[in-house]
Structure 1
């Protein structure tokens, strides 16, 4: 990574406990096939190395991606990169995804076993940021956090994060051990966290890591300028289907017109909007294409004023977005979801 790349992607504090990451991260999930067919390990490693050489040092994965293959792929790439310059985030808590929903466990013994297995797959002695991927409502959050605190004390985990947690859970968890980062879906068309979650994170000194900051690729043209393959998982997400998609295309065109004004791509403008939400906000867009990665990095050059941000927000009004943000079986009852209530499945007690 050269100095020019480092200058383009500045480092910021994520949370108040000392974790420092690149202002833009990289979500590795898609490299092993979710929205697209899996790519080869060689291609995946090439993308990770290109991201690092371009100034990105913050890489996000999970034990459930693959499952397991995503961590293994990232581990292979890490062997070719300087560990001390990289921040690795992984997650545990989703045991399985089946037709009835997510099977979730926050049991202490499960947390420990998952951490040790993730370290083995990644080939690391410690993970920089360890998230509870989804909250297990059958296990008090204090019990899960107690075990995560032990993992920090043992040096296996540097910092702790939560994903898709509600305000009460965040507060209770933070009492047991400080939370450094909260990962939530946040983009121009998914903005539920702005009312309660964002102010709470700032009150407690918790960094915010938006996933799907391009609306699962929608603001990069997926489903609009780029037709979805018949086997794409996105065809199961209500916002990408039928009448909903046609309504949402209107929002894309509005943003596309604003992008011309700012002399950038639609994806860059959408991502720049997320980046500009605060110094404590570190989005983690992912891609399987080098040109999209470069495009995402280019969003950091887009400078927006308060008036610009309002104009962009007004172009994609929350109340105009058609359809639920995710397939209902993929999300538990841990947060307030619009449109359609999701299904939640837990491990037996």
Structure 2
């Protein structure tokens, strides 16, 4: 077994999530061809770097991502910085021959995302976007059932990611609310997950018609020195057409009272249906229209060892897994690709590009009020 040394670029919420996954990975996945080593964490200043290094259990801490990229001891660059910085860090890491993980959205626009995907593929490095939501065992089981024909031909898809965490107007005007820093708001931040698992389950999206809403026009500036304009969407909804001929609807909002972390889907097929919500993430609801008439209805499948990735967690179905466990699955998917056990992770930069192209088409449709074709990757 070899060490695979990670440099995590960025702390905060995602730094915590990725550090927990790296730390707990060998407790769930054993034996493993590579042992993920928390080698280096990079933060914006010395104080935060020292704090994050101690808190998250890294061997070293620093403030210069360029040094991390150039460090010959580092095998993997894990990019968790604001969206606007993804391109520069990722491209430098690819040029240095490092394997790369990048949080979503991959880039601010399709052109940059395409350059990132093309460069990673040309360099032959393992590349992954943080679409961990599709790696949830219940969603993986849904894909298995669809591929086996359990619901017949997909006819319609309704996907969503609804939260209320930015419905509070007192939340300061951080980078997520600035278009030049984030690219988009709820659409890119959480809607990208709904786009990704919709594509994963039902195939490529070819055309969209969308609307975007801005509920909170201004927010207080950090430090209490006045207010600033919110430049991105609080909610985006759009109709979709899939390459298969299926149709659907995708909705994302971070200002939806009553929804804490409500992501999921309803998929209707010719012979059955599937339903899932992240707030009950260890459950998949399955309806089989071929059941006898006197016993038809949704059944609830409790995810456990018999299901995709379930064998790595608890020995009894229904014991539940958590958000951080899906990040463990993400690291497993990545390490399997590095070791050659699989050709590539499930969620490569190419998937990040395709999500970005859907997002761009949605924003253009919202601007024009017309159905808009999704650009080819």
The TM-score range, normalised by the shorter chain, is 0.3 to 0.5
The structure richer in helix per residue is 1
Which structure would you say has the larger Rg?
Answer: 2
Alignment TM-score, normalising by the size of structure 1: 0.36
Alignment TM-score, normalising by the size of structure 2: 0.34
The structure richer in strand per residue is 2
